[in-house]
Amino acid sequence: MLLHAIIPSLKRQIKLCRLLGFKSYKLSAKNGTLVETTYPKGHTWYKFLLIVVVSFALFVTFNGFYGIYRLSGSKILANNVGFASLVLTIMTSITIFADMSISLLTLRKKREVIHVLNMVYNMEIQHKPSSQKWGDLLIIGTIYMCQIASPIYSIATVIPAAFDPCATPWVGSLWLRYEFDQSTKTMNNICNWPKNSVSWDAIQIILVVIQSYFAVYIMFVSVLSACHFMIVLLISMARLLKQLLENVTKQETAFWDSKMMDRYRGLYVLEKCLNDAYQDGFIAFSLAALVTCIILTFYISLRVLGLKDGHIGLLVFPVVVIELVVLTAIFTKMGGSVYTTSGLILKNMRKKHANGRKCLEMKVHKSMPKLKVRFGQNFLEMATSLQVLHFSVDRTVNLLLIG
């Protein structure tokens, strides 16, 4: 399960934070797999560092949105930027903002976060089937790749603007170079690079490869942020179950303990369905990534063969139509999954009277383990399709205009 894959990374970060002086968490002395909370004394530099990190996250977030706002009012959107590039920029800003929010929530709700992580870890050990080991191995490898690529990504965001003034603005408004044309009353891109040359084609191919790779990284980071929101959902449900347990009488302790286990089992089933969907999503992601590589190879081969740019645009244009249809279907299917899943959860949660008290009980439905909650799969398909759309639409429009 994906949450189980995140736990080892979280514990390594706990060890690193303790070496740096952050003593909020520690690993249990009796059981090294469990996490405990401590109550250290506050430090001024700790609060100052927290303020700096939060300020930087807010700056990056609103800087990206400001760049989108500036571009939305001009007429160069389809020509020089590309729709999917703007979507990926928004995804990056939202991801950073989500990570900052989760960090602040963790500081506020330390005990609940650790309780849920330990609960999920224990359920994983007790109920995990052996058939999921290859999926876990792939997920853990992907997370390692994201951790390694994180500092590289911070440096590589400057590469498009450094080599090509017309490249996609990955870092928001800081790298936008536009001038206002008084005659047409529009914003024009400043682009003095010598086009229709071997060096221009080589740089364009390199930029496409770089943008495709780091778009994949942004997708995975966004998926991990969605997992963080899943932890928030689990925290809410765990606090609800804890409150239900506190409302029972001491005479019915044994009876309600069994009921409590049933509710934990329901929580585990829901969490298992969601994480199985993330594993299934890697299959769809691999297929879509293969399509992207085929299109990239197709484009490079046509450039090497020396065909005219207009012919290349006409050959790639059918792919744009296909991806638009696929993207529409994905949005429709995702909306249907959200509707059916929320309806099933509401159906299984019902009110119950016990000794004159009202409580909320979760019924374990037989069809629930078989339900494929495809939030993760739909997100990966959507993000990958957007990346293919970026390559297809952006290159097609540019080539048609050049031709």
DSSP state of 28: -
221-248 average pLDDT score: 47
pLDDT by residue (tens digit) across 121-144? Answer: 554 454 444 444 444 444 444 444
What's the pLDDT at 31? Answer: 55
What's the pLDDT at 58? Answer: 72
321-348 average pLDDT score: 50
- CA-to-CA distance for 170 and 67, rounded, in angstroms? 10
Which sequence spans correspond to the domains of the chain?
2-402
Give the DSSP H/E element, type plus range, for residue 361: strand 357-362
What's the pLDDT at 332? Answer: 52
Give how far Cα 171 sits from Cα of 89, 156, 158, 162, 286, Å: 8, 10, 8, 12, 27
- CA-to-CA distance for 377 and 285, rounded, in angstroms? 8
In DSSP terms, which residues pair with 186 in a beta bridge?
181
pLDDT by residue (tens digit) across 367-382? Answer: 433 333 333 333 333 4
Check pLDDT > 50 for residue 35: yes
Q: What is this structure's pTM?
A: 0.31
What's the pLDDT at 222? Answer: 47
159-167 average pLDDT score: 48
- Confidence tier at 102 by pLDDT (50, 70, 90): low
At residue 33, the 3 state secondary structure works out as coil
Check pLDDT > 60 for residue 365: no
Closest CA relative to residue 271, chosen from 239, 237, 245, 243 = 237
What's the pLDDT at 42? Answer: 53
In DSSP terms, which residues pair with 357 in a beta bridge?
354
- CA-to-CA distance for 113 and 106, rounded, in angstroms? 7
